[in-house]
Amino acid sequence: IAGITQAPTSQILAAGRRMTLRCTQDMRHNAMYWYRQDLGLGLRLIHYSNTAGTTGKGEVPDGYSVSRANTDDFPLTLASAVPSQTSVYFCASSDAESSSYNEQFFGPGTRLTVL
């Protein structure tokens, strides 16, 4: 693994189904983030984690949950998908603890369609 990876690359999902988007980084970064990106809108933060074992809510957390059992993995779960969750999802990480400089590194994204 080099950097940050996401799976799946894309997914079509029936409404009401449960779905987990996976994110793994090998940079030993403390902080990780989940964003969604919709046409015409900026990246919107769903959930974040400043360190393993802790998580926080972002701007648009409803309908999503996360866990951070270890440093490397940060899965995002949609408990019961709805069409409004159709979006491109990006996972990111940063070495936030080392300084206030918070450059974020992004995974390649997951394109999710909920029908």
Partner 1 sequence: GQNIDQPTEMTATEGAIVQINCTYQTSGFNGLFWYQQHAGEAPTFLSYNVLDGLEEKGRFSSFLSRSKGYSYLLLKELQMKDSASYLCAPMDSNYQLIWGAGTKLIIKP
Task: Figure out which of the listed residues 69, 102, 113, 115 binds partner 1, where binding follows CB under 8 A.
Answer: 102
Contact between residue 92 and residue 76 where contact means Cβ atoms under 8 Å apart: no
Largest CA distance in the chain: 43
Given the rule CB under 8 A, which of 17-25, 37-45, 61-69, 71-79 is the region that contacts partner 1? 37-45
Length of the chain: 115
Least separation in angstroms between residue 51's CB and partner 1 is 13
How many Å apart are CA 104 and CA 92, to the nearest integer? 6
Q: Interface with partner 1 includes 13 (CB under 8 A)? A: no
DSSP state of 56: E
DSSP state of 73: B
- Contact string 47-66 vs partner 1 (x = CB under 8 A): -x---------x--------
Contact between residue 61 and residue 46 where contact means Cβ atoms under 8 Å apart: yes
Given the rule CB under 8 A, which of 22-30, 67-75, 77-85, 100-108 is the region that contacts partner 1? 100-108
Residues that bind partner 1 (CB under 8 A): 35, 40-45, 48, 58, 90, 96, 100-109
